[in-house]
Amino acid sequence: MADRARVAGIGLEVARAGYGVSLLRRRSTMDRVLGGRLLVQGALTVMRGGDELTHAAGAGVDVLHAASMVGLAAVSRRWRRRALVSAAVATAFAVAEVAQTLNAD
């Protein structure tokens, strides 16, 4: 079961990195910064072996990002749609990280 959880955790980080790469290709500085953060977060998680603490920290980072994007959406009509999409993606990553934490035994 532990091997299965590790493979799932690597799959999660590959998905995160793929999304990060797609953001790096955009023109917006905001997208590029977020894309870089996603790549770094995924790489650090894999390098640390994807233990419970690492996934829990990743979930925390994703929750903070989602909250900041909801705040941005609340105050900026210009960035509202992109911020809400980013919040939804970050929330999905946070849920997946929590699932990894619970399955990491």
pLDDT 10s digits, 2-22: 576 666 678 888 898 999 999
Does the pLDDT at position 59 exceed 60? yes
Name the residue among 22, 53, 21, 57 with its Cα closest to residue 39. 21
Confidence label for 104 from pLDDT (cuts 50, 70 and 90): low
Mean pLDDT of 51-59: 87
| pTM, 2 dp | 0.86
pLDDT score for 20: 92
Name the residue among 17, 43, 34, 21 with its Cα closest to residue 82. 34
pLDDT score for 105: 58
